[in-house]
Amino acid sequence: MSKEIIKLDHIDVTFHQKKREISAVKDVTIHINEGDIYGIVGYSGAGKSTLVRVINLLQVPSAGTITVDGDVIYQDRVTLNAAALRQKRRDIGMIFQHFGHTETFKLYDIENGQITGTQIVSTNGQGHGALSGFLSQAQVDILICGGIGGGAQAALAEAGIKLYGGVSGSADEAVTAYLADELNYNPNVQCSHHSHDHSCGEHHCGENKHGCSGNH
C-alpha cells in the first residue's frame, strides 16, 4: 500500500475584511499517496491557490490538521518553529502560479543530464522587472515556472533564458521530467494576474542552473 505523503484534514481558511467574513476553504479533507498526481480545478476565486498554499503553510489555515511525510505541521496551530518550518518548505518544493511574485528560487546544477546539486536562493524582494537580471547573475539557462506575463517573458528571452511555463506541482519532479524530455508545459503561457480578477497563486519559482529550472 502506498504511503500517504500529504494529509489535509478538515481544513478551513477564513479571511476577515472589515465587517465581512470570507470562507475561502471550508472543511476540506484530502489524502495524497506517494507518487499520485492530483489537479485542483475550479472557477477563479474558488480557493484553489489558497488550498495549495496551505500544504506548506504559506497560508496558515483557520482550523484543521496538516500532515506532510508523517510530520504533523499544523494542528489548530503551527507545530514547527521557524527554522523547522523553513526546512520543511524546502523539502516540499512547489511551483506556484506567478513568476513576478517569486520570493525564492531553487537552482539545480545539471551535468550530463543529471542533477549534481541544488540550492535555494532568495530574491530579496526584487520585483519581476529585476528577476531576469537576478537569474542571469545566477547563471541560469532555463526557467521552469507557472504563470508569467508577457513583459517578463520578453526580459527572459533577451537574457537568453529559455522558458518552460504553465507548470505546477513539485519542483524536483518537474526538473526530473524535463531531463527525461517528459515535462508537460504550456508554450503560450500567460498569467491571469494581469487581467482584472488577479487570480494568480503564490510566491515561489525555481530554476535550474546550467541546464533547467523549477519553482520552489
Which residues lie below 8 Å from residue 146, measured CB to CB, with a gap of 6+? 95, 96, 97, 98, 99, 165, 166, 167, 168, 189, 191, 200, 201, 205, 215
Q: Can you give the pLDDT at residue 207?
A: 45
What confidence score (pLDDT) does residue 129 get?
57
Residues 132, 128: Cα–Cα separation, whole Å: 8
Q: Provide the whole-model pTM.
A: 0.54
CA atoms within 13 A on the CB side of 39: 3
Q: If you average pLDDT over every residue of the chain, what do you get? A: 77
pLDDT digits (tens, 9 = 90+) for 1-39: 678 888 999 999 988 877 788 888 999 999 989 878 777
